[in-house]
Amino acid sequence: MKTYVVAALPVYKMEDVKIVEAVEADFVELRLDYMDKLEVDLDFLERFKDKVILTIRDVREGGVKEIPDEEKEAFLRELHRRGFLYDVEASFLERRRVEYKGKIVSAHYFNSVPSVDELEKTYEKYKEAFVVKFAVVGRGNYKGVLASMLKYDNVAVMPMGVPPLERIAFSILGSRLVYGYVKEPTAPGQMHYKALLEVLKILRNY
């Protein structure tokens, strides 16, 4: 299965989106939770629909600005109506009814390592997603927990706060997504997406 390289881009204002066309990754994740107000020109983004992942990350899962659930739900519903790919937290789906089939469903564990059973239950609930993504702090038995989920074709796993090469290692083992950054890291352990592409190119041609 193909591993997609995702270049994460903080969006402070719509002007920041203009560089998407020049980014050579498979996807560009637009992190909209960096905006003071969720004012997004979806008409402008239509031409990048096949390239962007829109994310409003919850503050409790690594987001920057707090976006009310009602506003986030309405925005995600509009994204679904218009056929955009987005990333939504499993925890948000527990609170709000938003479409997740064919989207990215994520769960972040910054302070503790979950059990394999916990991740299995989340996967089973949202297995119709395009990708179910688990990000786990790099401590304890995190490697074994993350590796255990790679038996599924549509799972992405990534350790946080560890050397970036560990993320590459998990992509080689089968993680469907591997994240780098465009301008600044949006999560612990990211490397620049161009460096990520270069390493993967070398490994794939070995």
Q: Which of 103, 133, 194, 201 is catalytic?
A: 133
In our burial notation (b when 16+ CB lie closer than 10 A, e otherwise), range 100-139 reads: beebbbbbbbeeebbeeeebeebbeebeebbbbbbbbbbe
- Matching CATH number, 4-204, of 3.30.70.380, 3.20.20.70, 3.40.50.410, 3.30.930.10: 3.20.20.70
> What integer pLDDT is reported at residue 205 of this predicted model?
62
Name the active-site residue from 108, 127, 143, 183: 108
Residue by residue, pLDDT tens for the chain (206 residues) are: 789 999 999 999 999 999 999 999 999 999 999 999 999 999 999 999 999 999 999 999 999 999 999 999 999 999 999 999 999 999 999 999 999 999 999 999 999 999 999 999 999 999 999 999 999 999 999 999 999 999 999 999 999 989 888 989 999 899 999 999 998 888 777 899 999 999 988 887 64
Question: Quick one: which of 3, 29, 36 has its CA closest to 153?
Answer: 3
Which residues is 192 bridged to in the sheet?
A: 181
Q: Look up 201 and say whether it is catalytic.
A: no
- The pLDDT score that the predictor gives to residue 206 is 45
Q: Give the C-alpha separation, 6 to 193, whole Å.
A: 8
Annotated binding site for 3-dehydroquinate: 29-31, 57, 167, 186, 190
Annotated catalytic, 133? yes
Sheet holding 27-31, edge to edge: 155-160, 131-137, 104-109, 85-89, 52-55, 27-31, 4-10, 177-181, 191-192
Q: What is the pLDDT of residue 189?
A: 74
pTM of the model: 0.94
